[in-house]
Chain A
Amino acid sequence: MRAFEYFAPQQLADVIHTLSTAGGNARVCAGGTDILGRLKDGVDTPDKLVCLKTLPEMRYVRESNDGVRIGALTTLSTIEEDPIIRKSFPLLVEALYVTAAPQIRNQATMGGSICQRPRCWYLRGPFDCLRKGGAKCFAVDGENKYHAILGGHLCYIVHPSDSATALVALNASAKIQGSKGEKTVPLEKFFVGPEVNILKENILEDDEILTEIFIPTPSAGARGAFSKSRERQSYDFALASAAVQCTMKNGVCAEARVVLGGVAPIPWRSIEAEEELKGKKLDPKTIERAAAAAVRKAKPMTQNIYKVDLTRQLLSKSLSQIMV
């Protein structure tokens, strides 16, 4: 592990200051469950590590008229157990419940789970891949069982976050703080695919951090479900997942958000599936059509063809749960 300077600021302004003067060579550390592994494995070698845990004001779940705000340092287990979240956003609770394992959820934070880096074994191994500024993606001709079937472009990582998948389905937005001030963007726009930036998964600039997640109050009749498939029942990232949030009016699906996880470089919103659902009765036929639409553009590689069927099935499963 390369030596680095460690900062434990008391104020957000100090965090931003340290980041903005580090020339891109600083990383923030929240729960540390991802960043510490990267440092130890030598896949990330920053000069500075800025600890966020000493900031007092970023741990909360607050309800207001328009929705719920979650501070970036709130742990996943706190969110999972929060009564407001449990009442209004079972979709998020389901996603958290199948994230990693309780020990990690006690430590991992909202911000960290959204900003965590992909688990691609080439990215995390001794390979000079595109996402590290290198010349190629090694998964294309290599071991690509866990890689993307949608949205890949030169690089075929999948976004690892279950909570992000759920939050995009819930139409959440992200509050960002940087040296130029504060801004809020829809979470969906927070993530960027390799065609936009092959070096990172989100729009955060070097001097910016995520401070808060806002989830709008669901409209009346909203229902959500989350399904995830993995190879073992704990400590395992998604082979694929499907988050859906639908607003039902008179038995008809008035609004739908469908987001797929583990299959694309970003939490993958499937407009195609949503179109199949809108204005329709949620019956097995509609579900089948929507599920098929979701993977119609899938471009699997040599070892991840199974993800096409799997994704279709998981989406059907989530939609069927809403139907009942």
Chain B
Amino acid sequence: MPKKVKTTVEFEGRVSEILVDIPDIETPLWGNDAELDIVGHPIPRVDGDKRVTGAAKYTSDILLPHMLYGRILRSAHPHAVVKSVNSSEAEKLPGVKAVISAFNTDPIRWHGSSSLFDKTARLVGDEVAAVAAVDEETAADALELIKVDYETLPFVTDMEEAMKDTAPKLWPNGNVVGGKPSIYERGSVSKGFAEADLVIEETFRTQTELHTCLETHGSVAFWEGDKLTVWDSTQAVFNVRDALAAALNIPSNHVRVIKQYMGGGFGSKLELGKYTVIAALLARRTNRPVRLMLTREEDQMNTGNRPATLQHVKVGVKKDGTLTAIELKSVNANGAYLGGAGCGAPYREMYLCANVRTEEYAVYVNTGRSRPARAPGHVQGTFGLESMMDVVSRKIGMDPLEFRKKNYATVNQAQTNPKPYSAKLLDQLYEAGAKKIDWWNRDKSRNSGDFHSRKRGVGMASQIWGGGGGPPAYALVKINRDGSVNVLSGTQDLGTGTKTIISQIAAEELGIALADVAVDLGDTETCPFSGSSGGSTTAASVGPAVRTAAADARLQLFEYAALELKVKPEELSSRRGKIFVKSDPQKSLPFKEAARKAGNNMIIGKGFRGPNPDGYSLNTFGAHFAEVEVDMETGRVTVLRHVAAHHSGRPFNPLTMTSQIEGGVIQSMGYALSEQRVIDPASGIPLNMNMENYKPMTALDVPTIEPILLTQVDEHCNTLGGKGIGEPPRIPAAAAIANAVADAIGIRIRELPITPDKVLAALKSSVPSHKV
């Protein structure tokens, strides 16, 4: 029996202590000098061909015999009592097989005290009823025939309005989540401000960003007797299974959740969705499979968002650049149901400062609910903090980069007993990035535009994030009699390359070719448990488990090889398809030959993720440098260059790592320059639930992104020496761009996105100064 110990794990900023086994199979750290054949090499996606040829099956590709199509009727009002739902006309429409609502189903609890079909709608888009029909058009037509009697209630969509006593209340205890702000304090900020030579205050605002996954949310549900199978576009098959079983009051082993391929989640697909339960209910009622994929409008409206923020920041600083106090008071738009909102973490962690206080309000408003969005909190907070650091450094006449280096933190100050970072090479990232963008000559850039109508500027920002991963995560490695290998793990590849990295790790540990490894993920019935794919934790959580499973399988195979080579199993090793005697590598046997010897004596290696190291804080760091050009006549900002330097320990695969960086920067460019949910204030109806007026960047907007990867191994984090990279590149990009804009035009735009109207208004009303 493996020994149980306690360990600390972190997921999207939330830290918890859990019980964990210590693997009894030792897999020593792959250090800087490890000779690796596959891990760390630029391996193209193992399933890339399937994705680009259309062979890959996404949830919306699942087509079952007799399948019906589900659609959801959503509230047209931001706040209303649903007094009755009359579906008789809809049911008469030929092809309609079922209509469900609060009035003909048992209540299923949701969001605490709410329910699946709540009789109070709290946002435009809340679920009111659902239809299953023979095709999507019929289902859509049926929605129009359902008559809902609403009693409309006063509503509030603006978070600052919602905080006022006079505001309509969404919940009996008022609109402030938990009734009070969440407060953190270390040291004493009043003492810190007193010690400062200069105290500076600024206010920053960020917009509501929508995840805009290319594949909308949705599920296919299929009952065989009392057993439910669900294909779901999800970041967490086990979360969905367990919550679905609980919602339907059936055992977990009666629910199978499958996710093969998916088109993005970014945090919005970490939990069971109402659409999944609705699909299951409709399928049970009709006794036919039901596919329910949300439309783009529904997806933008009610599957989550990065909440808007208001950040009042106050910083105390000495003339020599020493930070004496950082204070944040923030308001965060939580949406109508508890979703998680706050942006203070970067303020608490990024810079060395003894006196820090954050006071954060999350506020209920009659709009879509906030969800984790690729580096939740950190993206908003880093825009505020890193804009502020620019303001402060310029005010005291210090170079922004030097100022950041001056306040460099080497321990995680937000912890009660601050632990050192397991690997923080941010100083090297600063140097590498600065060199690439030519930071020290950036005045040249500022003067290189056509001076009247176009101005250029350079800005930078840095980033901290978790991403160390941790237990529990499990994997199985099966060696077949022909020497081919199956890896099974209940994690999921969101399109990020998890499958590829797992293949690499298994092949490396086994000492065989990548082509001999097949990986199956995302199936709660065939795969052992792994956690949700979020928080940049997947590779560092699942990877070591896969490696241990492979080591276990390899040891079992060595027993057959040892008989053949007449040595003890411990004397063997394997590499490049061969099992050989360590002391005499000439004495060897092909891996496949050993597998043949084992025959149908099944080799199943089992692996699980061991504990995180005590005594270290596992984090990832990055620094971005952007060069922009601002058209002074039209107010348009063009990003000319974007350098993104990152260190997450060993890059498992430089190609997948680079594509995470590129994708993160592109999303952040939209956040910085063009994306913003718009809600009509008078009606509470969202106005831009499409990609025409909600504007992600296009290929023409994006410059060549220049990633810098530091490859040094993190010797403490886990046996692979690497951590996550999914979220880090999203964090500092917008702040770097905003700082570059301020550098270019001499006026700071304190509110995202930096659209032409804001730039033109700023140019008109302010006198540019290079102390921005």
A residues within 8 Å of B by Cβ? 1-3, 101, 119, 121-122, 125-127, 138, 141-143, 145, 229, 231-236, 239, 303-306, 309-310, 313-314, 316-317
Contacts and interface: CB of A to CB of B under 8 A. Distances in A.
A306 B683 contact: no
B682 A138 contact: yes
Interface stretch (B390-398, B526-534, B686-694): B686-694
B205 to A, nearest CB: 16
Contacts of A233: 698, 700-701
B692 A143 contact: no
Q: Is the interface of B mostly helix, strand, loop or mixed?
A: loop
Interface of A is mostly: loop
B636 interface: yes
B519 interface: no
Given A232-B695, A309-B764, A317 B683 contact: no
B693 to A, nearest CB: 6
B693 A232 contact: no
Interface stretch (B430-438, B557-565, B708-716, B755-763): B755-763
Residue of B634, B680, B701 with highest tally of chain A CB at under 10 A: B634
Nearest to A101: B698
A232 B687 contact: no
A121 B677 CA distance: 13
A180 to B, nearest CB: 37
In order of increasing CB-CB distance, the 5 nearest A-B pairs are A233-B700, A313-B633, A306-B757, A234-B698, A121-B687
24 contacts: A1-B140, A2-B141, A3-B141, A122-B680, A122-B687, A125-B687, A126-B76, A138-B680, A229-B634, A229-B636, A231-B673, A231-B674, A231-B756, A232-B674, A232-B695, A233-B700, A233-B701, A234-B698, A234-B701, A235-B692, A235-B698, A310-B634, A310-B635, A310-B756
Contact of B693 (A121, A142, A229, A309): A121
A143 B760 contact: no
Nearest to B758: A306
B687 A309 contact: no
Most buried by B among A119, A236, A303: A236
B680 A232 contact: no
B701 A306 contact: no
B135 to A, nearest CB: 12
Nearest to B136: A1
Interface in B150-181: none
B683 A127 contact: yes
Contacts of B214: none
A134 to B, nearest CB: 13
A306 B635 contact: yes
Nearest to A314: B634
B688 A236 contact: no
Contacts of A143: 678, 680-681, 687
A306 B761 contact: yes
B179 to A, nearest CB: 32
Interface residues of B, number: 33
A303 B635 CA distance: 15
Contacts of B756: 229, 231, 239, 306, 310
Contacts of B701: 232-234
Given A121-B687, A306-B756, 18 more contacts: A3-B141, A121-B693, A122-B687, A127-B685, A138-B680, A142-B680, A142-B681, A143-B678, A143-B681, A143-B687, A229-B634, A232-B700, A234-B701, A235-B691, A303-B757, A306-B635, A309-B760, A310-B633
Contact of B699 (A121, A234, A314): A234
Contacts of A232: 673-674, 695, 697-698, 700-701
Contact of B685 (A126, A305, A314, A317): A126
A306 B688 contact: no
Q: Which of B678, B688, B693, B699 has the most chain A CB within a 10 Å cutoff?
A: B693
Nearest to B753: A231
Contact of B633 (A3, A138, A304, A316): A316
A234 B693 contact: no
Interface string B643-683: 00000000000000000000000000000011000101111
A231 B755 contact: yes
Contacts of A235: 691-692, 698
Contacts of A236: 695
B137 interface: yes
Nearest to B636: A229
Contacts of A122: 680, 687
Contact of A231 (B685, B691, B695, B764): B695
A125 B685 contact: yes
Contacts of B764: 309
A141 B682 contact: yes
Contacts of B761: 305-306
B458 to A, nearest CB: 21
B226 to A, nearest CB: 37
Contacts of A317: 633
A169 to B, nearest CB: 19
Contacts of B691: 235
A310 B758 CA distance: 12
A232 B695 CA distance: 8
Contacts of A306: 635, 756-757, 760-761
Contacts of A305: 761
Contacts of B699: 234
Best-surrounded residue of B141, B699, B756 (most CB of chain A within 10 A)? B756
A267 B635 CA distance: 23
A141 B761 CA distance: 20
B151 to A, nearest CB: 19
A80 to B, nearest CB: 16
